[in-house]
Structure 1
Amino acid sequence: MPRSARLLRLLHAIRTLAAPITAARLAEETGVSTRSLYRDIDALRSAGARIEGERGYGYRLLEDPALPPQMLDQDEIEVLALGLAEVRAWGDPALARAADSVLAKIAATLPDERERQLLHAIAQVFRPAPRYVATLDLAPLRAACWQEKAVDIRYVDGDGVQSDRTILPLALFYAETCVTALSWCCLREDFRMFRTDRMVEIRPNGTSFRPRRVPLLRDYLAQLQARRGARGNGA
């Protein structure tokens, strides 16, 4: 691994792991010897990173030169802490790790007082069980949305009927009790909502529908809004 990439990986580890972080743990994260780790810490300090700690104690990042300072007021900090805590409670391991990473990166850009408020916010989320019970790994579906690529799914509808579909995934909608994929269904040639907890299998097929995702999603949301308006008017 090039040294520049290793230093970035080390910086990310110091941002995200609970401080103080031992040299042995950081060496494990970056795949180097402890001796090389000490040299890398010195290199980051020379580049402007304020890293507190020493050998035998552990390290903590006080100031990160790679991230610009953030000016957030107390309410904005509470919103961030509450929103990220809610994501961690969803039950999706990949998004939970991403939430922790975002929290660490933002905390590293804040003045000391604001950092403490973010890491020890007064607003908390408690869920004795995950909000969404994962039946499948949704990472391939999220990736397909971003990459604008079709996926093949095996789906069981509300009556228990199973079918194979090819869909163009447009967005994931996090509702109260389930995650739904807003999609274009190639079988029905129309917009459809597919509950991810009813998907038995998700297989990316590599077929690109770029750059159709944004206009398709815009049209679908407009249809949903029109239906809502019609119901509100008693139509």
Structure 2
Amino acid sequence: MPRTDRLFRLLQALRVLPAPVTAARLADETGVSLRSLYRDIDSLRAAGAHIEGERGYGYRLVEDGALPPQMFDRIEIEALVLGLSEVAHMGDPALAKAAAAVLGKVAATLPDAGQQHLLHAVSQVRRFETRFAPSPATPVIRQGCWREEAVTIRYTDSDDRSTDRTIWPLAIVYLDRRLVVLAWCCLREAHRMFRVDRIAAAELEGTSYRPKRVGLLRDYLALLKRGPSVAPKA
């Protein structure tokens, strides 16, 4: 691993892991020896990161020189914690990991008082079950949206009929009780809404629809504003 990437990974570990973090844990996270880990800590300190701690005690990132300082008032911090906690409980492992990473980065840019407010936020989310069951189709569809690339899916409709479709995924929408994909269906040549729990398989096709995505999504959202009775379903 290039040294720059290793230092970035170490910095991210210091942002995310509960402090103080032992040298052994940091070495395990970055895949280096303890001797290399100590040298990397010194390098980050020389670059401007304020890292408290020492060998045998553990380390804590007090001030992150790689990120500009952030100023949030207390209610804004509460909103951040609440929103990211909700994301962590949605049932998507990738989003849960990303939410923890974002919270760690935000904490690293706050002054000491802000960090204390974040650690002791009164707004919490506790769910006894995830809102949406994890689906192997979700990461593929997300990549399709990001890349603006067609996705081939095996879909079972409300009449229990299974079909293979090629779709242009436009957005992933988290409704109250289900996860859906807003898309252009190449089979029907029309906007369609697909339930993710009914997608048995999904695969990137490799065909780009990039010139059309913005306009298609804008038209679809305008259609949805007219009410659920006109919302197109698969």
TM-score by length of 2: 0.95
What does the per-residue CA deviation read over 1:152-205, in whole Å, with 9 as the maximum and x for residues that have no partner?
000111121111100000000000011100000000000000000110001111
| Cα-Cα RMSD | 1.4
More deviation in 60-69 or 137-146?
137-146
Aligned residue in 1 for 2:206: 206
Residue 129 of structure 2 aligns to a residue whose secondary structure is coil
For residues 137 and 154 of structure 2, the distance between their equivalents in structure 1, rounded to whole angstroms, comes to 14
- Report the Cα offset of residue 137 of structure 1: 4.5
- Report the Cα offset of residue 230 of structure 1: 9.0
Write the mapping of 1:118-133 to structure 2, written as runs, cut at 5 A. Answer: 118-133=118-133
- Letter paired with 1:35: R
Aligned residue in 1 for 2:227: 228
The answer to whether 1:59 aligns with 2:24 is no
For residues 229 and 163 of structure 1, the distance between their equivalents in structure 2, rounded to whole angstroms, comes to 24
Aligned residue in 2 for 1:74: 74
Gap runs ≥5 in structure 2: none
For residues 100 and 129 of structure 2, the distance between their equivalents in structure 1, rounded to whole angstroms, comes to 19
Residue 212 of structure 1 aligns to a residue whose secondary structure is helix
- Report the Cα offset of residue 136 of structure 1: 2.5
Write the mapping of 1:1-150 to structure 2, written as runs, cut at 5 A. Answer: 1-150=1-150
- Letter paired with 1:79: A
For residues 178 and 202 of structure 1, the distance between their equivalents in structure 2, rounded to whole angstroms, comes to 18
For residues 119 and 160 of structure 1, the distance between their equivalents in structure 2, rounded to whole angstroms, comes to 48
What does the per-residue CA deviation read over 1:96-134, in whole Å, with 9 as the maximum and x for residues that have no partner?
000000000001111111111112210111110001112
- Letter paired with 1:144: G
For residues 140 and 117 of structure 2, the distance between their equivalents in structure 1, rounded to whole angstroms, comes to 35
- Letter paired with 1:70: Q
For residues 228 and 206 of structure 2, the distance between their equivalents in structure 1, rounded to whole angstroms, comes to 37
Gap runs ≥5 in structure 1: none
For residues 9 and 157 of structure 2, the distance between their equivalents in structure 1, rounded to whole angstroms, comes to 44
For residues 95 and 228 of structure 2, the distance between their equivalents in structure 1, rounded to whole angstroms, comes to 33
More deviation in 165-174 or 17-26?
17-26
Q: How many residue pairs align between the two structures? A: 230
Whether the aligned pair in 1 keeps the contact of 2:148 and 2:209 (CA below 8 Å) is: yes
Residue 81 of structure 1 aligns to a residue whose secondary structure is helix
The answer to whether 1:165 aligns with 2:175 is no
Gap change, CA 1:43 and 1:94, over 3 Å in 2: same
For residues 82 and 160 of structure 1, the distance between their equivalents in structure 2, rounded to whole angstroms, comes to 38
Gap change, CA 1:196 and 1:229, over 3 Å in 2: closer
The answer to whether 1:156 aligns with 2:156 is yes
- Which 4+ residue blocks in structure 1 deviate beyond 3 angstroms? none
Whether the aligned pair in 1 keeps the contact of 2:151 and 2:168 (CA below 8 Å) is: yes
Sequence identity, in percent?
60
For residues 201 and 228 of structure 2, the distance between their equivalents in structure 1, rounded to whole angstroms, comes to 35
Gap change, CA 1:16 and 1:215, over 3 Å in 2: same
